Structure 1
Amino acid sequence: MEDAIKNLEHWTDEVTKQMLQNVVKRKRKFDKFERRHLIIMWLTIFSFVFYAIFLYSKIFVPYSYSASVMFSIFLSNHINVYFIVLCFGLYGYMLVLKKKVDKYEKEYHALRCEIIDKAPDLWKGEAWEKRHLVFEMMKKKYDINLYHENK
């Protein structure tokens, strides 16, 4: 368990601490996959652009006088197969990562909203007056907003 969550005062019980730990864990997982998706997205864009420049400079410009010659030169070069597989493989991996990002964002947001909805049950009496300290710590340390349900 995170030290900041573990060291919360006595007015935050163990169940609440575990819920806060779970939301931190899901936020980290979401952030990790979001970074991966962004990196793969840019790699995909750059690979498609690089391949288009390669095709333009090596095939379209020198053999622009005949479409059939361009096509035969394109098919005769085995590197084109590797570039196409690389580009579309990156594109497919980017789509898989996007689905995972959406899934983890949904899980994170659902748990965060659950904590917000159950706040009156989690902090009762004197603890209700001090819950803002937990919310501030979560916002500052982990960038998790427990004040409002909107993202």
Structure 2
Amino acid sequence: MDHVLLLPAGGLTIFDASLVSTSLVLVFGLLILLCLIITLEGKIFDSINAKKRAQAKDALHVGDKPAPAVVSAPAQAAPAPAPAPAVEGGISGEIVAAISAAVYYTEGANVTVRGIRRLPQPGASRRGVWGDAGVLQNTRPFI
């Protein structure tokens, strides 16, 4: 048994130590290589997206012509503001503003909120709306 040397740490042989060290170097080397590949792919995709954005921006400006001089017309009356929405009692102004802002953000400026009311709650639970949503989410079957 000339080729087996017992190391003082619990009877490991030189072969065991070289196997462990080779495995560690190989695993960490491949992890570093994988990180470099992912970083390189990210840079490639970023440059592709930047080129697409630049092409889209150039396409918008290709047909641009200088705007003709605008002759100022007499001041027109400002359009009448939209009527305030019909709000059910118990709904605060902050909630009306938040709902109106959400509708404006999702649908655009050409939509008018005409009314805000609470939906009837057939069998309101003690948990409330958020508690019921949590129960539904966590008890939904995995199909």
TM-score (norm 1): 0.35
Q: Which has the higher contact order (CA 8 A, sep 6+)?
A: 1
Larger fraction in helix: 1
